[in-house]
């Protein structure tokens, strides 16, 4: 994912950096507790792409595990998709330094995608489908019951708008889900973390970031447009992304139009409706 956030470098251990670190740890701990993401005896496979989000996820989870009241295992995993120029030694070297068990899975999905998708067409959807299947398979082989992904608050808000604008659905990206086969639980512990905080943390920690454009494909154009829309809103109305995110945790089915979520047909005189007769309370 392209980092469009303005560069602000924090010296590790400066007061500002420690405050940022504390905030991220608090937000990850809260998401884990709010959604019961990690339980006693879990083995959590943390998927690392070499980008800022997954490095931050692994780093914060390792810190939180040290003081967690429960016992759980962490194993890091990277899928080397054989993209041209992928620096295969960067992640293993980092993970050895950190001292976390890890597995590098090498699968040439790059060639498959190039072969199947005509030149000029977006390759991301096939690529991510293949990646997802491999990730689930590797989790099974490693004995991991939880799969942790590095999506954050801004990814979730972008997905909400993608689904509204192009899917006609009020749906975002869940903090926790069970895979279709029912074998694993996927968790997103960075759900409450803002992308700009993660970007600052990753810079301060000087993680060895691997560029994300090695495959030569552009990130989904619609997602880029929505990112830009949110960035412009944020500039004009600071805090808007967080307000939208808060709204995603504060859904009022009685004031939407989905009869499957709220029984409008049976509504009768005398019934009390959440939020009353006010549609917009400013």
Q: Contact 168/214 with Cβ under 8 angstroms? A: no
Q: End-to-end distance of the chain based on CA atoms, in angstroms?
A: 36
Least Å distance, CB 94 to ligand SF4, is 20
43-48 vs 185-187, strand pairing mode: unpaired
Nearer to ligand SF4, 28 or 127 (CB): 127
Q: Is 47 a known ligand-binding residue?
A: no
Shortest CB 84 distance to ligand SF4, Å: 11
Question: Considering beta carbons, is residue 31 or 162 the nearer one to ligand SF4?
Answer: 162
Report the greatest alpha carbon distance in the chain.
68
Measured distance CA(158)–CA(173) in Å, rounded:
9
Return the residue nearest ligand SF4 (CB atom): 127
Q: What is the DSSP string of 96-134?
A: HHHT--EEEEE--HHHHHHHHSPTTS--HHHHHHHHHHH
Contact predicate 203/10, CB 8 Å:
yes
Q: What is the DSSP letter of 255?
A: G
Q: Please check if 212 is assigned to a binding site.
A: no
The least distance separating ligand SF4 from the CB of residue 116, rounded to whole angstroms, comes to: 12
Residue 191 or 215: which CB sits closer to ligand SF4? 215
Which residue lies nearer to ligand SF4 by CB, 27 or 123? 123
In the sheet with 146-148, reading across from the earlier edge strand, the strands are: 102-106, 73-80, 43-48, 146-148, 185-187, 176-178
CB of 248 to ligand SF4, least distance (A): 24
* Nearest approach, Cβ of residue 279 and ligand SF4 (Å): 40
Residue with Cβ nearer ligand SF4 (43 or 122): 122
Angle between helices 240-248 and 221-236 (to 10 degrees): 110
- Tell me whether residue 215 is annotated as binding: yes
Question: Which of residues 214 and 244 has its CB atom nearest to ligand SF4 in the complex?
Answer: 214
From the CB of 98, what's the least distance to ligand SF4, in Å?
24
Burial 196-218, CB ≥16 within 10 A → b, else e: bbbbbbbbbbebeebebebbebe
Residues in contact with ligand SF4 by the rule CB under 6 A: 123-124, 127-128, 215, 217, 219
Q: Which residues are annotated as a binding site for [4Fe-4S] cluster?
A: 124, 127, 215
């Amino acid at each position: 994912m392209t980092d469009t956030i303005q560069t602000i470098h924090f010296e590790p251990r400066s007061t500002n950096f420690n405050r940022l670190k504390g905030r991220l740890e608090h937000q990850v701990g809260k998401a884990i507790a709010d959604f019961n993401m990690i339980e006693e005896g879990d083995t959590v496979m943390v998927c690392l792409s070499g980008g800022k989000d997954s490095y931050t996820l692994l780093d914060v989870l390792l810190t939180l595990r040290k003081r967690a009241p429960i016992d759980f295992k962490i194993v890091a995993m990277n899928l080397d998709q054989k993209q041209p120029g992928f620096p295969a030694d960067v992640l293993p070297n980092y993970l050895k330094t950190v001292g976390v068990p890890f597995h590098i899975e090498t699968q040439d999905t790059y060639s498959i995608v190039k072969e199947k998708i005509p030149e000029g067409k977006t390759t991301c959807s096939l690529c991510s489908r293949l990646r997802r299947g491999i990730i689930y398979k590797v989790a099974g082989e490693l004995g991991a019951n939880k799969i942790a992904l590095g999506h954050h608050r801004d990814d979730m808000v972008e997905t909400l708008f993608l689904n509204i604008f192009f899917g006609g659905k009020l749906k975002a990206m869940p903090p926790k889900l069970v895979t279709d086969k029912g074998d694993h639980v996927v968790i997103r512990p960075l759900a409450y973390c803002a992308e700009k905080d993660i970007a600052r943390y990753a810079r301060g920690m000087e993680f060895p970031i691997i560029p994300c454009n090695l495959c030569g494909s552009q990130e989904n154009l619609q997602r880029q447009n929505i990112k830009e829309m949110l960035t412009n809103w944020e500039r004009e109305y600071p805090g808007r992304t967080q307000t939208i995110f808060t709204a995603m945790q504060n859904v009022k089915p009685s004031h939407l139009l989905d009869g499957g979520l709220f029984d409008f047909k049976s509504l009768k005189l005398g019934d009390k409706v959440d939020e009353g007769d006010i549609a917009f309370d400013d």
